[in-house]
Structures are given as structure tokens and as C-alpha cells.
Amino acid sequence: MSDSAELDASDPLAAYRSRFLRAPDVVAYLDGNSLGRPLAASRDRVHRFIDDEWASRLIRGWDEGWLDLPERIGDHLGRAALGAAAGQVVIADSTTVLLYKLVRAAVDARPGRSRIVIARDEFPTDRYVVEGIAAERGMSVSWIGAEDAAPSAEGVTAEALAAVVDDDTAVVVLSHVSYRSAYLADVPGLTRIAHDTGALVVWDLSHSVGVVPAELDAWGVDLATGCGYKYLNGGPGAPAFAYVATALQGSLSQPIHGWLGAESPFEMRQGYRPAGGIRSLVSGTPPIIGMLAMQDMIALIDEVGIEAIRHKSVALTSYVVELVDELFPDATLSTPRDAARRGSHVTIDREDFADLVPRVWAQGVIPDFRRPSGVRIGISPLSTSFAEVELGLWAMRYPGA
């Protein structure tokens, strides 16, 4: 088995770990894909914001930078992690609400088509939003995959998508990285298949943004959204981001018309007219405090480079797979063995795992449980060491009382 001390010693990104805040009673944090650790810089930024901006600038702050923070942070995220040129990414709402806005806008842009395509094992919020929109618009949902399929490492392949999309499909909703299996989808390939039938695609990047490089412009992506509190370390309930390709911006209309996504909002005029560009995705007042911490992580991703982060993520998840093979030969690896098809977490399934997780949590080892029987080992590359992974997996193999 590889030696975690050697792997840490030769890790060029090891020093970045000290930039994150950690509590001594958490010895192995393996759930950075649910909620990233805070950066020390974010603690300072939040303090500074309250003293120097909120308390002292008060209402004047809106004119001094708060109002266009959603686009400014969006542009930085686009540049550092999404392969998106300026003017296409905005921070707002939650992933759920942005999914609703994007899918509704996409459906309305394909009038006469009556189906929305999504996978059976897609994240719940994505399925619920799609089912809700289908009911609202008198459409139907076409599912990829069987309803009661066992947990598997397989995700949405070209064949699986091609079998379901057709010229009655308005929109396809897909995840870049599956929340359960970590299967890494072929974004440009699947997008092309949907486009060939005339459908639009909404990509959910919640489990890839910040750890897996994306090239949204080059891949021909229409629309995307993703989470701000996972690998973007924005903190609990941090807002999400949305990407709308420039080519689509003039022709799409999102359904929640609010004053701060309108043209010249302070003229308070009759009748909604959307602001130009990506700003029209905004509805109400931007959640400024919620956007503070993610700025530090986006800056760090920019500093380190998304390719270097991906490289360490692959090394860490490969090490997890090696440990799983050694320590859990009787569990099912429900994540692709091929690193090129894997995001930044590893899921293993065994019938008795539901009992295991609370026991290791009590020891300060924090993986995640996903029904029916999966332990999910999430790897946030810049805040996780190889030694932490080794310690965590040994604790899971021999859990305390």
C-alpha cells in the first residue's frame, strides 16, 4: 500500500492545507463535497465586511460595489474554473432556484416540444424541479435509467442519452459529476447528442465546480448552474451560480421577474423590462453576505490553477480506491475505477454501512452516507491530506464503539 506520509511529502499543493480553519476534534474530514471547510481568509473577510462596509458604509454600500458583486464574482469564477468568458456567469439564489429559472427559460425557448429528459438517479432537487415544471407546463418527464436500479458506478453515457432524447425533447438536465457515483459525464459529447435533436441542455455542476476543470464556452454548453458551498467553500447556504451562453442571452426569459434583474431598477417604472445580459437572471436583492467566503476560494483556485487541483484530486481519489481495495474487499466500489471518468469523491456500498457512519462521526472521522447503503468519501483537494484519508479509512475499517 502507498505510504501517505510519502504522498504528502511529495505533494506540491500540501502547504495550501494550512490556509483552511480546522477544529482539533475533526481528525479526518471526508465530506468537503457537501460543505467545504472555511478559509482563514474568509473569517477575516466576514469580520472586515461587517466593520468596514456594513457598519460604516450602510446603504451607500449598494452604490459602492455590492450591487454588481453577482456579476463580478461570476466573471472571476468563469475565468478561474469554468472556461467561461466574461458576462455569462452570475451568483444568485440557491442551485434549486437557479435550476428552476434555467429549465423554465429553456422549456419556453422550445415551444411545441413536450418532454424534459433527466436521469432516475439524478440529485433529488433536480428531479423535483423538473417534475414540477413538467406539471406546470403540461409536459412529461422522460427518464434515463430504471426506477429501482441498484447503486452502480455507471452514469449517463452517450448511448443512454441517445436512446431517450428525440425531436419532442425541449430540455435535458444532466450532472457533470454524479452526486452519488462520482461518474464524470462527457459534457461536450452529451451536449452534442441533445443539440442534434434540437434540445437545450442544463448542466448541474454542483459536484464538479472547483475540482474538475470545465470549458463551458469551448464545449458549446447552453446553460449551467452549480453550488457555492461544496468545493467553492462559500459556507452553509451560500448562493449558487448560473451560466447562460452569450448566444442565448437575448432569446431566453427566466420566470421570476424582480426589480434587481430589471433594467434601471431605481427608476421604479411600470412594467418589467429585463436588464441586459446575464443580469436578467437576478430576481431580488443579491445575498451579499452569502457571497463573501466564496470569493476567497475562487481566488485560491485561480492562484493554484484548476488543472493542478484536478491533479491532486485524482491522486487522492486513486489513493482512496487503493485503500478501499485493501480494507473493504467485501464492499462494492460504486465509483468509476478509471480516474478519467471520476469526479472528486468515492462511494462504496455495503449493506451495514448505515450503522457505520454515526460510529465514525463520533470519532471525528466524517464521511457521508447516501441511501440505501453508500458511504461517500468526499475529497476537497486543497484542504485534504493523504494522511487524513488513510486515517479516515482505517477508522471506518475498525470503527470504535
Tell the smallest beta-carbon distance from residue 184 to ligand PLP (Å).
Answer: 13
Q: Is 31 labeled as catalytic in the residue annotation?
A: no
Q: Closest approach of Cβ 96 to ligand PLP, in Å?
A: 3
Residue 369 annotated in active site: no
206 binds ligand PLP per the rule CB under 6 A: yes
- In the complex with ligand PLP, the residue whose CB is nearer, 95 or 332, is 95
Find the shortest distance in angstroms from Cβ 65 to ligand PLP. 25
Residue 123 or 243 with smaller CB distance to ligand PLP: 123
Element (H, E) at 267: none
Angstrom distances, CA of residue 313 to CA of 155, 221, 289, 383, 386: 20, 24, 29, 11, 11
Interface with ligand PLP, residue 144, by CB under 6 A = no
Query: CA triplet 305, 310, 316: central angle to 5 degrees?
Result: 130
- The continuous run of DSSP H or E covering 295 comes out as helix 292-304
Work out which of 115, 207, 312, 345 binds ligand PLP, going by CB under 6 A: 207
Please identify which residue in 42, 88, 95, 169 interacts with ligand PLP, judged by CB under 6 A: 95
SS3 of residue 60 by DSSP:
helix
Q: Is 240 in the site for ligand PLP (CB under 6 A)?
A: yes
How far separated are the first and last CA of the chain, in Å rounded? 27
| Smallest separation, CB 181 to ligand PLP (Å) | 12
Q: Is 227 in the site for ligand PLP (CB under 6 A)?
A: yes
Query: b/e per residue, 180-196, with b = 16+ CB within 10 A?
Result: bbbbbbbbeebbebbee
User: Which position among 179, 243, 328, 386 is part of the footprint of ligand PLP (CB under 6 A)?
Assistant: 179
From the number of C-beta atoms within 10 Å of its C-beta (0-12, 13-18, 19+), residue 247 rates as exposed
Distance (Å, whole) CA 200 – CA 269: 33
If the CB atoms of residues 94 and 347 are measured against ligand PLP, the closer one turns out to be: 94
Q: Which of 20, 29, 123, 241 binds ligand PLP (CB under 6 A)?
A: 123
Active site residue 101: no
Stretch that binds ligand PLP, among 76-84, 122-130, 142-150, 292-300 (CB under 6 A): 122-130
Q: Which of 16, 179, 183, 229 is catalytic?
A: 229
- Burial class of 83 by CB neighbour count within 10 A (0 to 12, 13 to 18, 19+): middle
Concerning whether 128 is annotated as a catalytic residue, the answer is no
How many CA atoms does the CB half-sphere of 123 hold within 13 Å? 23
Residue span 317-346 as binding mask against ligand PLP, x where in contact by CB under 6 A, dash where not: ------------------------------
If binding is defined by CB under 6 A, does position 126 make contact with ligand PLP?
Answer: yes
Q: Choose the catalytic residue: 16, 20, 123, 328.
A: 123
Q: How far is the CB of 356 from ligand PLP (least distance, A)?
A: 22
User: In 3D, which of 129, 165, 175 has the Cα closest to residue 144?
Assistant: 165
Catalytic residue among 230, 279, 341, 342: 230
Stretch that binds ligand PLP, among 63-71, 121-129, 336-344, 374-382 (CB under 6 A): 121-129
Active site residue 229: yes
Cα separation, 128 vs 120, whole angstroms: 11
Query: Does 101 engage in binding with ligand PLP (CB under 6 A)?
Result: no
Q: Which residues contact 23 (CB under 8 A, 6 or more apart)?
A: none
The residue count for binding ligand PLP (CB under 6 A) is 13
Return the exposure string of 52-74: e unless at least 16 CB atoms fall within 10 Å of the residue's CB, then b. ebeeeeeeebbeeebbebbbbbb
Contact (CB, 8 A) for 243 and 281 = no
Catalytic residue among 204, 222, 296, 368: 204
Residue 179 CB, shortest distance to ligand PLP, in Å, is 4
What SS3 class is residue 291? helix
Give the integer Cα–Cα distance in Å for 170 and 103: 9
Among 204, 296, 368, 390, binds ligand PLP (CB under 6 A): 204
Residue 197 found at the interface with ligand PLP (CB under 6 A): no
**How far is 396 from 305, CA to CA, in rounded Å?**
32
Residues contributing to the site for ligand PLP (CB under 6 A): 94-96, 123, 125-126, 175, 179, 204, 206-207, 227, 240
Annotated catalytic residues are: 123, 204, 229-230, 376
